[in-house]
Amino acid sequence: MQFERRFLLIAMGLAALLPFVVRDEYLAHIGVLILFSVTLAASFNLIVGYIGEFPLGHTAFLGVGAYAAAILSTRAGAPIYLTIPIAGLLSAATGLLIGGITLRLRGPFFVIVTLCFAEVLRLVANNWVGLTNGPMGISGVPTPHWIASQPILGQKISFYYIGWVIAALSLYVCYRFVYSNLGRGGVAVRENRFVAQSIGIKPYRYALLTFVIAATLCGFAGGFYAHYISYVGPEVFGFPFTVSMIIMVLLGGKGTLVGPVVGPVVVVLLEEYLRDFQDLRLSIFGLIVMAVVLFLPAGLMGFVARRRETYAPA
């Protein structure tokens, strides 16, 4: 607990100071992507790491949040400080609906049905032209005037700090969740749902609450993504985002608070480094996942924790 809290405080503190040291548009863009990915990984990790389910359709909440922010800002003129919270609330409602159905299933059935929900939403976004503009997507999502009036570097840094606030809020929520009765109940369900039931824990209720929290955080990330990219299309429901979340959580270490911070940093930097190898990038990431599963099943932070225990004074 102490190690995780200190690590998160130091990491987010250094991230807050980074724009004062690095004055480069490209590096600021990389920082925005990392903070966006931290929020995604933290939300995904709540379900995978603390409930023990594997939601391949987690992009449903990302897409709902992104489309909600895009539609509200382009058609209703809503400001960013309203669109992102509303995106999170709509994703929470979607999570309540999807989780209420899928969490009654277990194992591969849960995985497949969540993936089907994301695919259904992708088809809706692709065909409901009147609302989503179909395959063309929604372009021209407005940038707030106070950001657009700045030079390019200033715009990147402004989005960086918005992303920092969302990531910090997400990590704080995850921290409070993990060290609350709800989080401990979720871990008990993950380890053995029958033992959890025997001591009065209701697995379905705990899993559903966790599912809704994760959906909310993912919706915040989707709303932020819409404003930063200024475009939202049906591909936001696609499998590549899910693959990135899986790699980030597995690489960093599922079931930890530090893993969703370490994993995105490594993955985003690798993606940028391998940008010139488009045809080989997915293959390389596939090999990385295989290596992690085989040699670091607990992720990088699990490996670090074992080393700390090994060299800890008796």
Is the pLDDT confidence value at 147 over 70? yes
Residue 212 tokens, joined: 């809704």
Task: Give the SS3 label for residue 138.
Answer: strand
User: Which of 64-78, 135-149, 258-272, 291-305 is the least confident region?
Assistant: 291-305
The segment with the largest mean pLDDT, out of 98-107, 174-183, 227-236, is 227-236
Q: Where are the domains of the chain?
A: 2-238
Is the pLDDT confidence value at 284 over 90? no
Question: Each residue of 34-87: pLDDT tens digit?
Answer: 999 999 999 999 999 888 888 888 999 999 999 999 999 999 889 999 999 999
pLDDT computed for residue 312 by the predictor: 54
Helices (H), ranges, 76-202: 80-102, 108-127, 129-132, 145-148, 152-178, 181-191, 193-198
Mark residue 128 as left, alpha or beta (left: phi above 0; alpha: psi -120 to 50; beta: remaining). beta
Closest CA to 231 of 68, 66, 117: 66
Annotate 236-303 with three-state secondary structure.
Answer: HHCHHHHHHHHHHHHHHCCCCCCHHHHHHHHHHHHHHHCCCCHHHHHHHHHHHHHHHHHHCCCHHHHH
Closest CA to 269 of 30, 18, 32: 30
Q: Tell me the C-alpha distance between 112 and 90, whole Å.
A: 23
pLDDT computed for residue 239 by the predictor: 83
pLDDT computed for residue 199 by the predictor: 76
Mean pLDDT (the chain, rounded): 87
The pTM (predicted TM-score) of the whole model is 0.91
> What is the total residue count of the chain?
314
Is the pLDDT confidence value at 196 over 80? no
Q: Tell me the C-alpha distance between 61 and 218, whole Å.
A: 6
Q: Could you give the percent of the chain with pLDDT greater than 90?
A: 48
